[in-house]
Chains A and B, each alone.
Chain A
Amino acid sequence: MTKKLLLMLTLSILLLGGCTLKANSLSQDFPADRVLNVMTHDSFDITAALLEKFERENNVRVNIIKAGDAGTALNRLILTSKAGAREADVFYGIDNTLLSRALENEIFESYQAPALVAIDVSFKLDASNQTLPINYGDVCINYDKAWFTDHGLAVPSSLEDLTQPLYQGLLAVENPSTSSPGLAFMMATIAHFGEEGWLDYWKQLKDNQLTIATDWETAYYTNFSGSSGKGSQPLVVSYASSPVAEFIYAEVELDEAPTASIVADDACWRQIEFAGIVKGTKQRELAEKFIDFLLSKDFQEDLPLQIFVYPVLPEAVLPKAFVKASQIPEKPATLDLATITRNRELWIEQWLEIMLGN
């Protein structure tokens, strides 16, 4: 008796797994013959209607694959591509700090998109056009306005200020080996203090008890006091556009953003994000269409409030809230791509050695 009962139980578990939960088709209400796989990072978002329009026009189902942090997503793509697997036809979200890793591994096919003509030359870092610039944004230190007011403390105005005892234990940063804003901020310090001085600067930050998080989500939503997580650090490495998100998504309507960025010269790093057609795709034509879509005015104008970045297309109009709450640093830190390519891994190793004792 019990035996039969058990058998039935086991079978029913199987049935439950196999049958009752039929796969819901993704958001589409219309049949599509083709599927386009787009791999991107977790921060990606798009207005559903916009994506649906693209799908309808091209009779395609776009499968958005979020594969973790920008760096993790890219590595996954390289790893699977090298192994011969094709998880994606288009990849969106390589930033300039990791661009060389993508190019070295030759995982993209070059595509001369018509829209490139209009884009500012400063964004076109890849002359081979294997990867195309889509958006940019600045990684800056954000601060919690209320915290500094409450504590009667002046907001630090430069990178150097952060090493002062006044700001001890107030800063949260991301590990550059696991987080792309973390890597971007590290680049800013290298650009500012030079290859000789930047490690000393980090040593001073360490002595000043900074907090290191694995990823941006943790740093921003767990450590940062200005986010919904209400953490304990009023300073965090994030984006210049993060205050916009705080402004828009605040639980009660606000007159101004509760947070802001320190946009001193050299204190921010300009991140440019690229997209590319994955080598060996069987959907080359569709992939090209999708890249064009990414560079279209519709998508470029959708970007700011979805991913909180700036469009590269000059004709795209910025939303009002964005203009109101976002700051653009006048002089972001820069390093040339060749230097980054040559030294990135070494710098990360040096950083890990100093900061985490690896």
Chain B
Amino acid sequence: MKRSIWQTLLLWALPLAFLLVFFYQPLVAIFRLVFSTQFSQGWKLFRWSQITKPLGFTLYQATLSTILTLILGLPAAYLFARFQFAGRKFLRVLITIPFILPTVVVAAAFNTLLGPRGWLNLGLMSLFNLSSPPVNMLNSLSAILLAHVFYNTSIVIRMVGSSLSRLNQNLPSAAQNLGASPWRAFKEVTLPLLMPSILSATLMVFLFDFSSFGVVLMLGGPQFSTLEVEIYNQAMNRFNLPVAGLLSIVQLAFTLLVSVLINRSNQPRYGKAAMAFESSGLRVAKESWEKAFVIIMVTVLLLLMVTPTVSLVTRSFFSFEAARGERGELNTGFTLRYYRELFENREKSLFYVPPILAIRNSMIYAGITMLLATTLGLISVYAIQKSGSLSPFLEPLFMLPLGASAVTLGLGFLIVFGSSVLTQGRFQALIPVAHSLVALPLVIRTLLPALRGIPVNLRLVATSMGASPSRAFREVDLPILFRAIVVSLLFAFTISLGEFGASSFLSNTAMPTIPVAIFRYLSQPGALNYGQALAMSSLLMVVCVAGSIIIEQIRLPGEEVF
């Protein structure tokens, strides 16, 4: 008995130590920063509007984005849960792509569609023979909202759609049979039963919109800053660390609040009572309103959810203007140049290294992240499982990093670990650590149901047949957990590849990650920098899409992740 307590403690020690050092310590450092005297000059000019304005805007845009996302997502969820139409499966795959894209890629994609050098403006300019781009969509609230809708609609479609298709169809039928009109039956029965999933989808979308960084930073312009962007601004541009710290605390408090609400709304309320044994069948649209609905929804989804990515990839293969300093060599049309340039080290380039090195850096960080996060995740889920009745109290400890923003994390790291022996001033060593913190909650969510699914008897049988504990792990646990582990590895890998917030603080300027490089390229002048940003974005998108397709293939039984 005693031995097992020690074992449990040992299991707990490593992940807890990791969290204490790399998560709670930076948080405390940010708290202390706010009250420290070292940077107290920041307070001299402090006005409450420095907090309330970004907070107000963050809440405002998040609310607006969430509403718009629901307006598109709910009918889309209905479309996919109820109707059969040509290309349904393909469209379903296409619309899940945005969610797994890194924010910088989303920003780049919108740039290629609506930006001054985007397809829309290029088209209008050649159509009406204009000399300057007529549409200025970037640096506007609508660009932010559009990108957020693009980004999060698939969450609504997934979460609400799956409850809708699993909803017991006899329930609304019973209501109709009892005298409720179809609309009334929807209002009185279907809607209330879908409410928990609508609510958690709403909160989830709100959380993502609330903590949006890359999209707002790159598409919003100077008028618009969310808390995340303002933390970055105050710290990196204004050098006002106390205010940045205070903003971080506000941000953390809000995200935690929303996370807690999400956890609550995730509790199954009606259990299986509302669920059918199998998902209800799809039908082909028959009546004219149904046909119109399907056609309109498919068109809108294609326009909103598919054109940005398509335009990103196509734009990366076309040049329309000469690179800076190349007189008379204006080749407009198809080109592979932007991809070729990634391998070259140009004299006037931004990084003084071939841009492809950013891909190497990101791959290395992502590789370390996936091993680190999955190893920690595995230990953590065993620790959670071993602790029995205590686990409801301990589990949230591991889930907390989900609530902390990446920018806050980056700021905290910068403050705490600069001088530490561990890093010897090399912040980039912390990137995989930060990425692991971001990935850990998801990894745990993936592994925990799989581990809980292993019958205890199986292990007992193995042990009773003479297998040592480690042998039992290899022979019993590992094969069963295998798929979950592969999914976790991929999750961690893609999260790390796309992470921008923390990386923007931590990556060595000479050794950027892919998203940081894309961000820097996009803000530089010249067709070449633009093209390289797009080429890199396209490559990153391909890797992320490949990763998520594999994850879909090995779909796990049990909980939906996210």
Check whether chain A touches chain B (CB < 8 angstroms).
yes
B218 to chain A, nearest CB (A): 10
B425 pairs with A252, CB closer than 8 A? no
Residues of B within 8 Å of A232, CB to CB, are 132-133, 136
Chain A contact residues, majority secondary structure: mixed
B124-145 vs A, CB cutoff 8 Å, 1 = contact: the mask equals 0000000111001011000000
A251 interface neighbour in B237, B239, B327, B353, Cβ under 8 Å: B327
CA distance A346 to B41 in the complex (A): 11
Interface status of B357 (Cβ within 8 A of chain A): yes
> What CA separation (Å) do A79 and B415 show in the bound complex?
8
B347 at the interface (CB under 8 A from A): yes
Contact B53 A357, beta carbon cutoff 8 Å: yes
Tell me the B402-459 residues at the A interface (CB within 8 Å).
414-419, 423, 425-427
- Report Cα–Cα, A356/B367, bound state, in Å: 42
How many A-B contacts at CB < 8 Å in the complex? 186
Query: In this complex, what residue of B is CB-closest to A356?
Result: B223
Measured CA separation A66–B417 after assembly (Å): 22
Measured CB to CB, the nearest residue on chain A to B350 is: A66
Which residues of the other chain, A, contact B486 by a CB distance below 8 angstroms?
Answer: 3, 6-7, 10
Interface of B (DSSP majority class)? loop
A324 within 8 A of partner (CB) = no
Q: Which of B468-498 contact A (CB under 8 A)?
A: 482-483, 486, 489-490, 493
A220 to B426, CA, bound (A): 34
B116 close to A177 (CB less than 8 A) = no
Total residues of chain A contacting the partner, CB 8 A: 74
For A13, the closest partner residue in chain B by CB is B493
Is A288 located at the chain interface by the 8 A CB criterion?
A: no
Interface string of A63-92 (1 = CB under 8 A from B): 111111101100110111011111100000
| Cross-chain contact of A42 among B47, B116, B508, B524 (Cβ < 8 A) | B524
> Given the interface contacts A66-B509, A178-B222, does A251 sit within 8 Å of B328 by beta carbon?
yes
Q: Contact check, A39 vs B353: say whether CB atoms are below 8 A apart.
A: no
- A72 vs B357: C-alpha distance when bound (angstroms): 23
Does B75 belong to the interface (CB within 8 Å)?
A: no
B116 near A231 with CB under 8 A, answer yes
Using A71-B237, A79-B235, A214-B222 as known contacts, say yes or no to A222 and B359 having CB atoms under 8 A apart: no
Contacts of A231 in B (CB 8 A): 116, 132-133
A230 interfacial contact with B, CB 8 Å: yes
A113, CB-defined interface residue at 8 Å: no
Least CB distance from A146 to B in Å reads 10
CB within 8 A of A80: which of B133, B425, B527?
Answer: B425
The answer, among A65, A75, A175, for a CB contact under 8 Å with B509, is: A65
Whether B363 is near chain A, meaning CB under 8 Å from some CB there, is yes
Asked if A221 is an interface residue, CB under 8 A from chain B, the answer is yes
Q: Is B4 an interface residue (CB 8 A)?
A: no
Question: What are the residues of chain A within 8 A of B508 when measuring CB–CB?
Answer: 65, 87
Among A1-48, those with CB < 8 Å from B are 2-3, 6-7, 9-10, 13-14, 16-18, 21, 23-24, 26-27, 39, 42, 45, 48
Assess whether B351 is interfacial by the CB under 8 Å rule.
yes
Residue numbers in A under 8 Å from B131 (CB-CB): 230
For residue B489, which residue of chain A has the nearest CB? A10
B526 & A212 in contact (Cβ 8 Å cutoff): no
- With A7-B486, A21-B359 in contact, is A217–B525 under 8 Å at CB? yes
**Total count of chain B residues near the partner, CB < 8 A:** 80
Judge if A229 is at the interface, Cβ distance under 8 Å.
yes
Residues of B within 8 A of A64 (CB): 352, 510
Find chain B residues with CB under 8 A from A222 CB: 116, 138
- A250, B322: Cα distance in complex, Å: 10
From A63, A80, A215, contact of B427 by CB (8 A): A80
Closest residue of chain A to B418 (Cβ to Cβ) is A83
Complex CA–CA separation, A331 to B509 (angstroms): 38
- Evaluate contact between A251 and B363: CB separation under 8 angstroms: no
Q: Is A228 an interface residue (CB 8 A)?
A: yes
Known: A217-B524, A221-B525, A249-B324. A23 touches B132 (CB 8 A): no
Cα A72 to Cα B138 in complex, Å, equals 23
| A188 in the interface (beta carbon within 8 A) | no
Q: Which of B133, B138, B327, B356 contacts A252 (CB 8 A)?
A: B327
Determine if A213 and B221 form an interchain contact, defined as CB atoms under 8 angstroms apart: yes
Task: Give the chain A neighbours of B271 by CB distance below 8 A.
Answer: none
A339 an interface residue at 8 Å Cβ cutoff?
Answer: no
Decide yes or no whether B265 CB sits under 8 A from chain A. Answer: no
Contacts of A252 in B (CB 8 A): 327-328
Q: Which of B41, B49, B221, B418 contacts A214 (CB 8 A)?
A: B221
| Cα–Cα, bound, A231→B360 (Å) | 35
Given that A10-B486, A83-B417 are known contacts, is A349 also in contact with B45, CB under 8 Å in the complex? yes
B345 and A39 within 8 A (CB):
no
**Minimal beta-carbon separation of A261 from chain B (angstroms):** 18
Known A-B contacts A21-B356, A39-B509, A82-B418; the reply to A228 vs B525 at CB < 8 A is: yes
B328, A10: Cβ atoms closer than 8 Å: no
Partner of B49, one of A249, A250, A358: A358
Q: Are B238 and A348 in contact (CB under 8 A)?
A: yes
Complex alpha-carbon distance, A7 and B425, angstroms: 35
Which residues on the B side are within 8 Å of A189 (C-beta)? Answer: none
A229–B418 contact, CB under 8 A? Answer: no
A345 within 8 A of B: yes
Which positions in A face B, CB cutoff 8 Å?
A: 2-3, 6-7, 9-10, 13-14, 16-18, 21, 23-24, 26-27, 39, 42, 45, 48, 63-69, 71-72, 75-76, 78-80, 82-87, 101, 175, 177-178, 212-215, 217-218, 220-222, 225, 227-232, 248-253, 345-346, 348-349, 353, 356-358
12 intermolecular pairs with C-beta atoms under 8 Å apart: A2-B554, A6-B550, A13-B363, A13-B493, A16-B363, A18-B367, A66-B352, A83-B419, A178-B233, A217-B523, A229-B117, A249-B324
